[in-house]
Structure 1
Amino acid sequence: MSATPQNSLLAANASGLTAEAALEAERMRRAAAMVTVTNRLEPSEVPRLLEAAGRVIGRLAAPETVIRVAEKNADAIWLFARRGKARPEGFMSALLLNQSGRSALFDGTLNLLDPQNEYLVSQHERPAAIYVWASFTPGVLAAGINRVMDRFDSPHYAEADVISTSFTMRGHRAMVRRGFEQGVWHEDRFLEDFYMIPRRPETLAARLPRYATHHPVQHPTGIRVVTGFDDMMRVAAVRSAVYIGEQACPYDEEFDGNDLAATHLLALIGNEPAGCMRLRFFGDFAKLERLAVRKEFRKSRTAFDLVRASVALCKEKGYRRIYGHAREDLLPFWQHFGFRLKENGAPFAFSDHVFVEMIDTIEPSPTALSLKDDPYRLIRTEGVWHVPGPLELSAARAAHLQSPQI
């Protein structure tokens, strides 16, 4: 509703890695139970809510504009109230945009204070983008945002990109913690003021691979494959903080001699190491292990992004099965990604915890590495198979090897 909304408070997901994270998830669940959420807008409530929100956010759309947007699509405006209270005290709003509206948002022709009807979809139409227009969720009401995002995760909305903006450092940090990527490419322009969770097939197809999304300048929040000693030090620092520092795991059990025989993924938030994952590769399966996220980043989507990036890497290598060990109490976290208990696998213990074996069945990527590939692709840097490597570039030098004379 504002011309320059400051923060979209999309709810964070607990990583599920520690008992502390589980307690945080339970706290959020209880908070959500204290909030009622509805998209049934009572027009008489709109001026009061906008006046309260305007004192915090700044200039907002007029009440008649908000009512018009809600009449176009009821899912655009959500009202939050403390359970037992008759009147709503907060709201979350979104512009549900068609393809033309998505483009208009990026090129500046969408009027954010009075959005044009031709850019908005009705409830039976699938949007191309969900733009977080404005939200006002004081206190416990913020817990209701999870319920709205559940709606936007439904099949009807699942392929719409979620977009927001922020013009403050606090807002930037909130976006990053909640899984948004800073910057959007539109018609060969990089728009750094926008933040996006890409979900459209065409958007995802144009993205960097999930395991290669980090760039120190353009994408300071992302994931990359470890290819040097400096990054291995970052991985060791994360795992030492989580497993040795928090969980009192003995050094020799955490650093077990397999690190130099594995591939590692490093997640960074604002160029700061936030989490990591280790992958080892066997004959017909890959194994995920040593997932760790630093305490201060556990309200972000880092753990989820690392698992998805690891699966994507396995698919690109052509694997069809992934194996892993899950702590019994954290199995639901892994089941979220499709892992299931290994048939005939019995619980077993190490490092003072009980674990279960789990398996996931996957399909190789359409671009999976194979002997049919150009030979240059197979000598590119690990995890950077989409970018020409140094040996490939060396072929451009003037001097070339000559075929031997017979």
Structure 2
Amino acid sequence: MPTTPQNSLSKPNASALAAEAAQEAERMRRASALVTVTNHLDPADVPRLLEAAGKAIGQLAKPETVIRISEKNPDAIWLFARRGRARPEGFMSALLLNEAGRSALFDGDLNLLDPQDEYLVSQHERPAAIYVWASFTPGVLAAGINRVMDRFDSPHYADADVISTSFTVRGHRAMVRRGFEHGVWHEGRFLDGFYMIPRRRKTLAERLPRYATYDPVLRPTGIRVVNGFDDVMRVAAIRSAVYIGEQFCPFDEEFDGNDLAATHLLAFIENEPVGCMRIRFFADFAKMERLAVRKEFRRSRTAFDLVRASVALCKEKGYRRIYGHAREDYLPFWQSFGFKLKENGAPFSFSDHVFVEMLDDIEPSSTALSLKDDPYRLIRPEGSWHKPGPLERSVARQHDHPAAHA
């Protein structure tokens, strides 16, 4: 018998990711108690901190520049020290940018070694963007970053996009783990040298749908909706490796006859297919199933990204309820996304496990599909409602088609 029911949302690999995330959060919580954080900068500490950071990071701004940035807005420079130490041992710095500064950053006009004052906001002004300028947090001091990010989640900063850069694979993974999206759209250009946590309404409206972030050239790590037989084969390979290979699930139980009546999401990491999710749609609810991530990629955020992408797809299709099954011991993973136990739903069992029914009440997106839409939008490929489809492009050739002159 399979170790996990095949109509269940909760799979062991998803649970392992959730457990790892919980352990990491607990570790950071404990470490945070050992670190003091302040934005009160003593100019005398700046040269020493920059010298230590420069050995690990490379060229940094001059001390007088850092002091000037701090005087402009104390929230730009945060100092970390292990509890009981008198002097700061690390720091995190951010450029709090106005609208012009945000554009200058993306256009390459912002001097990152000596930022221009006209692009920076003072403490009483709300920024358009928070650019993570530089950080030096050896050892346990990294726990202080979460405390600073809590500050930047306050109402004063909540609508500002958080932006960063990274030039290493290790940095890329760190950005993704912290919830940054790879790549930024700016004035019709996709800039893959930046990472962003989009928070302001304009940016949220411009961002790619969570279920349509993959592009083999521009965004080799992302998610797309399955639209062709090649991707169906990729989904089958992932699920075969996970459920048949690892969990010894019988073939007929894994491929249960519902795959051709469902929408599938496929996740990639550096163009390698690594995870998938199946969604079936009913009259007034959608059902999420078959979350699978290959074993060697389970330390990534793929499982979390697939769930969020699936919810976003359901919202775009106008659904208000998502239904699913979960093993009782995996319920916390799904509760973190808003799922709740179905009212009056009694536990039930199959395949040697006990399961519960779950529901997530959602709101359709502001651009949800409806009969009020342009007819072309409703004939676009599944999951590509945000861009023109092949039938729209076909209009351009209608006048040249022989039948048009018959």
State the TM-score, normalizing by the size of structure 1. 0.84
Work out the percentage of aligned pairs sharing the same amino acid: 79
Deviations 1:25-66 (A, max 9, x none): 314422441232413334133322221111010111223332
| Aligned residue in 2 for 1:109 | 109
Name the aligned partner's letter for residue 33 of structure 1. Answer: R
The question of whether the paired residues in 2 share the 8 Å contact of 1:345 and 1:356 is answered with: yes
| Aligned residue in 1 for 2:213 | 213
The question of whether the paired residues in 2 share the 8 Å contact of 1:16 and 1:330 is answered with: no
Distance, in Å, in 2 between the alignment partners of 1:226 and 1:191 is: 25
| More displaced 10-residue stretch of structure 1: 362-371 or 175-184 | 175-184
Flag structure 1 segments of 5+ consecutive residues without an equivalent. 1-14
The question of whether the paired residues in 1 share the 8 Å contact of 2:41 and 2:77 is answered with: no
| Aligned residue in 2 for 1:22 | 19
Q: Secondary structure at the match of 2:14?
A: coil
5 Å matches for 1:294-305? 294-305=294-305
C-alpha displacement of 1:285: 0.6
| Aligned residue in 2 for 1:10 | none
| Aligned residue in 2 for 1:340 | 340
C-alpha displacement of 1:170: 4.3
C-alpha displacement of 1:347: 2.5
| Aligned residue in 1 for 2:37 | 38
Deviations 1:305-354 (A, max 9, x none): 32222122112222121112233333333333332221111223344443
The question of whether the paired residues in 2 share the 8 Å contact of 1:106 and 1:186 is answered with: yes
| Aligned residue in 1 for 2:385 | 385
C-alpha displacement of 1:205: 1.1
Distance, in Å, in 2 between the alignment partners of 1:136 and 1:41 is: 17
Distance, in Å, in 1 between the alignment partners of 2:124 and 2:352 is: 53
Q: Secondary structure at the match of 1:18?
A: helix
5 Å matches for 1:135-154? 135-154=135-154
The question of whether the paired residues in 1 share the 8 Å contact of 2:292 and 2:303 is answered with: yes
Q: Secondary structure at the match of 1:163?
A: strand
C-alpha displacement of 1:290: 2.0
5 Å matches for 1:203-352? 203-247=203-247, 249-352=249-352
The question of whether the paired residues in 2 share the 8 Å contact of 1:32 and 1:144 is answered with: no
C-alpha displacement of 1:177: 5.1
| More displaced 10-residue stretch of structure 1: 248-257 or 220-229 | 248-257
Flag structure 2 segments of 5+ consecutive residues without an equivalent. 1-11
| Aligned residue in 1 for 2:6 | none
Q: Secondary structure at the match of 1:220?
A: coil
5 Å matches for 1:363-374? 363-374=363-374
The question of whether the paired residues in 1 share the 8 Å contact of 2:222 and 2:269 is answered with: yes
The question of whether the paired residues in 1 share the 8 Å contact of 2:13 and 2:295 is answered with: no
| Aligned residue in 2 for 1:73 | 73
Deviations 1:293-314 (A, max 9, x none): 3344444443333222212211
Name the aligned partner's letter for residue 136 of structure 1. Answer: F
The question of whether the paired residues in 2 share the 8 Å contact of 1:377 and 1:385 is answered with: yes
- Structure with the larger RCO, 1 or 2 (CA within 8 Å, 6+ apart): 2
Distance, in Å, in 2 between the alignment partners of 1:193 and 1:337 is: 29
Q: Secondary structure at the match of 1:17?
A: helix
Change (3 A) 1:23 1:376: closer
Name the aligned partner's letter for residue 268 of structure 1. Answer: F
